[in-house]
Structure 1
Amino acid sequence: MAQADGETRTVIMTVDDDPGVSRAVARDLRRRYGATCRIVRAESGESALEALRELKLRGDLVAVILADYRMPQMNGIEFLEQAMDVYPGARRVLLTAYADTEAAIDAINVVDLDHYLLKPWAVS
């Protein structure tokens, strides 16, 4: 959302179909980046795409999109592919389990993935 001084607010979006994981990721991001960024979370690729379109209409800048690889209806790579159409400049991060590292390699090639994170992770 646009701020009073005319600047747009930077958004970090996280997408995970597991509500507990979704809340945990958003909580960790808020702890680290909440003072400077708005953290938006979604629990499906479709709802995340809808939120991205709304953010675009409002003029928000989305800096980073984190997506879980294993989601029903639309996996993380498919979601990131569509998200690139809305925010092509956003950094793309895939959350994967150790067994899905091959998916991360695919994502590097398909969606020009910037990073991948293995789940679970440790929070300090």
Structure 2
Amino acid sequence: MCPCRDLLDMVASKWTALAIGALEDGPKRFGELKRRLDGVSQKMLTQTLRTLERDGLVTRTVYPSVPLRVEYELTALGRSVTEPLAALRLWAQQNYESVAEARETFDSAEPMGLEPATAR
């Protein structure tokens, strides 16, 4: 059991990777992040940002104004993960069609038995 497994699970999360990517170019308000992360629910974005804040990757700053203004920004630790995540996003963009074709081929093939292979 790898002690870093929970950290890998968090960083590998789709919404975590996308939220960190959205924050790479500077602080954002919640609404800005929600617009940039097309398809994320308010609940999921809130959970993702809280996890990132708890893990020290994001800071949350509340400005005393009416209405309250809240901004999220990457910490030094959060910025340190941007390069590997950017490489992963680039890989996904470059290989999406190949993976989609492989899935289609697999899904249209005759189902194979579920028996485990035996050594002869």
Shared fold per TM-score greater than 0.5:
no
Q: How high is the TM-score relative to the length of structure 2?
A: 0.25
Q: How high is the TM-score relative to the length of structure 1?
A: 0.25
Q: Which has the higher helix share?
A: 2
Q: Which has the higher strand share?
A: 1
Give 1 or 2 for the bigger CA radius of gyration. 2
